[in-house]
């Protein structure tokens, strides 16, 4: 079974469409949250993702943009975008976002061979926690319910692995070309893995291309993708919507 793993689309329809057009066939779609917030196409993204997602874990922006929790911890840019999003969401999409389950979740693996996995937005121990370093990864690697957990939230593609006293930070090796690239990593049994597919709609790892991953359950390997998309079109939409300029500028910087 091939599972497409998407995270942090952030209302960027151009990036989402490019990813869906480039990753080939998949059997299930696992979504790690933050579908909305920052970008200018919240309704379009929800309506595109909703019918094709097998499982969606809510993100902190989904929660705040749907009015479930306070914006107090958001910086002024994120807050402006969250207010704009809350205003623009249709009642139906708002209701759907409000009902998204909190992670961690274990997807049903009907008939699929290979390891069981967990899905979370931030850490499997805390949906709001950023796993940016091995120090952040240590406790989740010890305590997560399955050997493999997919996480998002940081907008940094890669992850962490650990077996006994042997641990590694995973950063996909790309040439940094302007076209699409992929990089495949085997996840050997008995090794614990936190895998971050990166952000579809607002990468922050200094690569502007949309990020995604495909997990092959039978081979137990993950393929990371970087996919170019029409950044100027997404930026124009952000500016036309009256969202903060920084939210447009950062898309071409990838940070
Ligand atoms: Zn996010």
CA of 87 from ligand 1 middle (Å) equals: 19
Which has the closest alpha carbon to 112: 210, 50, 30, 172? 30
Domain count for the chain: 1
Could you write out the DSSP letters of every residue in 234-245?
HHHHHHHTT--H
Q: Which residues surround ligand 1, an ion (CB under 5 A)?
A: 8, 34
Residue 113 alpha carbon to ligand 1 centre in Å: 31
Quote the pLDDT of residue 192: 97
- Looking at residue 190, which CATH number applies to its domain? 3.60.21.10
pTM (whole model) above 0.95: yes
Q: Per-residue confidence at 25, pLDDT binned at 50, 70, 90?
A: very high
Domain limits for position 108:
2-253
Q: 111 CA distance to ligand 1 centroid (A)?
A: 32
- In the reported structure, the alpha carbon of residue 153 is separated from the centroid of ligand 1 by a whole-number distance in angstroms of 5
Instruction: Give me ligand 1 centre to Cα 169, in Å.
Output: 21
Instruction: Give, in order, the Cα–Cα distances in Å from 222 to each of 10, 81, 157.
Output: 23, 33, 12
Provide mean pLDDT across the span 213-233.
97
For residue range 26-69, list pLDDT tens digits in order.
Answer: 999 999 999 999 999 999 999 999 999 999 999 999 999 998 99
């Amino acid at each position: 079974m091939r599972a497409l793993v998407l995270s942090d689309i952030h209302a960027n329809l151009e990036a989402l469409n490019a990813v869906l057009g480039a990753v080939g066939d998949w059997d299930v779609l696992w979504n790690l949250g933050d579908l909305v917030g920052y970008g200018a196409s919240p309704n379009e993204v929800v309506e595109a993702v909703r019918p094709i997602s097998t499982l969606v874990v809510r993100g902190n922006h989904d929660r705040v943009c749907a009015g479930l929790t306070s914006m107090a911890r958001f910086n002024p840019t994120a807050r402006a975008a969250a207010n704009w999003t809350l205003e623009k969401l249709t009642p139906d999409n708002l209701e759907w976002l409000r009902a998204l389950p909190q992670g961690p979740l274990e997807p049903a693996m009907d008939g699929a061979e290979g390891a069981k996995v967990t899905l979370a937005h931030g850490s499997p121990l805390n949906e709001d926690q950023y796993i940016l370093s091995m120090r952040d990864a240590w406790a989740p690697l010890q305590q997560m319910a399955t050997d493999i957990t997919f996480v998002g939230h940081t907008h940094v593609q890669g992850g962490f692995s650990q077996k006994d006293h042997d641990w590694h930070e995973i950063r996909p090796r790309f040439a940094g070309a302007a076209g699409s690239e992929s990089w495949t990593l085997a996840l050997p049994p008995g090794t614990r893995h936190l895998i971050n597919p990166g952000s579809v709609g607002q990468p922050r790892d200094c690569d502007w291309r949309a990020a995604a991953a495909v997990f092959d359950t039978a081979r137990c390997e993950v393929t990371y993708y970087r996919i170019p998309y029409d950044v100027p079109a997404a930026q124009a939409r952000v500016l036309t919507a009256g969202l903060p300029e920084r939210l447009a500028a950062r898309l071409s910087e990838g940070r």
